[in-house]
């Protein structure tokens, strides 16, 4: 684990060095106190001068204060560094999440990822802060204290070290069990986070189906299991201190027994014996802390494994070809016998797709639900990568085009419009943060949403709830469309972007889009044939294959799937008008 975190530690090596120096100084000062006590006790056997005893007392206070100052600076350096590394690691994790392919998010749910970025990251910080500090403090305390103990009595020192092997054995056994149980706790916390996130995101569905009670009961089951696993973990974790104290206590008992005989025999003085015991006491807390630190370390190892699931995931460019020199995209698109299946599945979603969209033309895709229409969009935006030599943009294999360059020239309106918890202005300007209010309003007007926005009390400064919860489905779609229009892309991808808009508003928006997209390429997926009937080329998909293609009139004459879909929609419109 430390090897994985070494680059982060090196970044703050100056502060860490200062922190470790303060630890050395604090322990170096601390070993002076027993020497002062030794001198004071041995002095009591001679003629007592009160002023000299006062001097001993003031020395003890002074040394304690100095040691306390060094401990304060130890925490101010080492603990602060752990917080800084936590911040750096969190930023790196978030950056990595931005670069990961969509396949990663198919395998991992949001709640689990959030748990890794909170609880697991906190466990790592505990290792880098208290873990490193107490480990180094224990080592230096042992070196200094045992050196002084050897000077007083090598025999007593040897007896004092007898429990050490037993202590190491117990610590190792307990920490192995802690590691296993802590991992169970973290996994259960991830399950709770996932359930909570899904429940809050779908709260309207929960209420609509009156499922509040059942969701509360399910959460209680998960929570009780979390408590159970936590208690299971704490039973072992709580055993650390008592067992360590028992081992240390046994060592102290042997020291008292043998040390008393050495005083009687005149081998050591009473002052030396008291000093020896004070040095022993200096080692009690570090010994207990060592067990606690080992527990932190094993927790950190478990958490690091969970974080490595993110940090070691391959970014999406893994299938990229050598980059092409182009820095702009004109908009010519060609699918050449493309077949595709999603990662971790074997069923082909698209099979032998072959068509071209010349620059500046509008192509439309229609078909039944699940026929693979949206997958075309995912491939064009490189959310998923096709095989080499099957998809080309401007004559270049799409795998050779840098994803950022490609996406910078694409305006994409997905099937499910996503809006951020921000102002309407910032949502529209998401793809162009430098756009001024006039440009934002023009894009909104072209998307047919400007007047609706102005009806809000704060207009474009209206704050949206999570995922735009305070807007209707049609309003969300039109704001998402305005976002794409404002970008002025070379390629516009519309995935059923007007499905929640009425036919009158749809016609207005279509007229606006014809002006906006003049000279630009558009690929339009729609379940409404009325919306795409004027497209330059229409592709009809069925079970992942192209079954028909051509212009609207030509496809109607073929009397195939397209004609049947058109006939069914005309019938629906007639029934709606009759109703």
Query: Quick one: which of 420, 430, 426 has its CA closest to 470?
Result: 420
Q: Residue 318: its pLDDT value, please?
A: 45
- Which DSSP category does 420 fall into? -
Q: Residue 45: its pLDDT value, please?
A: 66
The domain made up of 2-313 is a member of CATH 1.20.1560.10: yes
Helices (H), 238-269: 240-264
Q: What architecture does CATH give domain 415-488? A: 3-Layer(aba) Sandwich (3.40)
Parallel, antiparallel or unpaired: strands 362-367 and 521-525: parallel
Q: Comparing 2-313 with 329-409+489-579, is the CATH topology the same?
A: no
Query: Quick one: which of 461, 99, 459 has its CA closest to 311?
Result: 99
Of 3.30.590.10, 2.40.50.140, 3.10.310.30, 3.40.50.300, which CATH number belongs to 329-409+489-579?
3.40.50.300
Q: How many CB atoms lie within 10 A of CB 202?
A: 14
CA dihedral 418, 421, 422, 425 (to 10 degrees): 30
Structure tokens at 91: 């930023």
Q: How many CB atoms lie within 10 A of CB 343?
A: 12
Mean pLDDT by 10 residues, the chain (579 residues): 82 92 91 86 73 83 90 91 91 87 78 82 87 87 89 87 78 76 83 83 77 88 91 82 78 83 84 86 74 75 83 63 67 93 84 93 89 91 90 92 88 86 91 91 91 91 83 88 91 84 79 81 86 89 92 91 86 68
CB 193 within 8 A of CB 112: yes
Per domain, the residue ranges of the chain are 2-313, 329-409+489-579, 415-488
Distances in whole angstroms, Cα of residue 275 to Cα of each of 41, 44, 257: 9, 15, 16
366 forms beta bridges with: 540
Structure tokens at 225: 């299991």
């Amino acid at each position: 684990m430390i090897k994985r975190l070494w680059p982060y530690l090196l970044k703050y090596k100056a502060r860490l060095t200062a922190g470790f120096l303060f630890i050395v100084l604090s322990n170096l000062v601390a070993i002076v106190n027993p020497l002062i006590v030794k001198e004071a006790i041995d002095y009591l056997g001679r003629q007592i001068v009160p002023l000299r005893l006062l001097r001993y007392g003031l020395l003890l206070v002074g040394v304690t204060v100095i040691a306390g100052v060094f401990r304060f600076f130890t925490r101010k350096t080492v603990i602060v560094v752990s917080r800084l590394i936590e911040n750096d690691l969190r930023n790196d994790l978030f950056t990595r999440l931005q670069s990961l392919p969509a396949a990663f998010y198919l395998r991992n749910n949001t709640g689990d990822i959030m748990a890794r970025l909170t609880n697991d990251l906190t466990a790592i910080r505990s290792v880098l802060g208290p873990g490193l500090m107490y480990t180094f403090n224990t080592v230096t305390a042992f070196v200094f204290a045992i050196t002084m103990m050897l000077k007083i009595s090598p025999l007593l020192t040897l007896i004092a070290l007898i429990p050490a092997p037993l202590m190491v054995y117990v610590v190792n056994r307990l920490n192995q069990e802690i590691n296993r149980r802590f991992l169970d706790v973290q996994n259960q916390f991830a399950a709770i986070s996932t359930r909570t996130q899904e429940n809050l995101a779908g709260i309207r569905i929960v209420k609509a189906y009156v499922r509040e009670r059942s969701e509360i009961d399910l959460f209680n089951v998960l929570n009780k299991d979390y408590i159970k696993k936590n208690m299971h973990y704490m039973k072992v974790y709580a055993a650390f201190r008592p067992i360590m104290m028992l081992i240390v206590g046994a060592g102290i008992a042997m020291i008292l027994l043998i040390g008393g005989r050495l005083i009687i025999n005149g081998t050591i003085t009473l002052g030396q014996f008291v000093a020896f015991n004070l040095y022993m006491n200096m080692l009690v807390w570090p010994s207990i802390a060592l067990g606690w630190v080992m527990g932190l370390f094993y927790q950190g190892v478990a958490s690091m494994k969970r974080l490595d699931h993110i940090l070691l995931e391959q970014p999406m460019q893994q299938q990229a070809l050598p980059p092409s020199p182009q820095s702009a995209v004109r908009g010519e698109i060609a699918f050449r016998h493309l077949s595709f299946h999603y990662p971790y599945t074997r069923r082909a979603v698209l099979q032998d797709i072959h068509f071209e969209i010349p620059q500046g033309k509008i192509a439309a895709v229609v078909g039944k639900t699940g026929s693979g229409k949206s997958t075309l969009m995912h491939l064009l935006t490189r959310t998923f990568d096709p095989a080499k030599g099957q998809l080309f943009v401007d004559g270049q294999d799409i795998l050779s085009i840098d994803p950022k360059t490609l996406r910078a020239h694409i305006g994409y309106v997905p099937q499910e419009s996503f809006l951020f918890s921000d102002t309407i202005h910032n949502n529209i300007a998401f793809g162009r943060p430098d756009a001024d209010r006039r440009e934002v309003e023009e894009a909104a007007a072209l998307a047919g949403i400007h007047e609706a926005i102005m009806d809000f009390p704060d207009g474009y400064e209206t704050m949206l709830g999570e995922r735009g919860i305070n807007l209707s489905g049609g309003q969300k779609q039109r704001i998402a469309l305005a976002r794409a229009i404002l970008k002025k892309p070379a390629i516009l991808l519309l995935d059923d972007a007007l499905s929640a808009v009425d036919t009158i508003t749809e016609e207005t928006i279509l007229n606006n889009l014809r002006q906006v997209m003049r000279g630009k390429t558009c690929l339009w997926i729609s379940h409404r044939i009325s919306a795409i009937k004027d497209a330059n080329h229409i592709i009809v998909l069925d079970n992942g294959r192209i079954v028909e293609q051509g212009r609207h009139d030509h496809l109607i004459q073929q009397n195939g799937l397209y004609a049947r879909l058109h006939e069914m929609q005309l019938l629906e419109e007639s029934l709606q008008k009759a109703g």
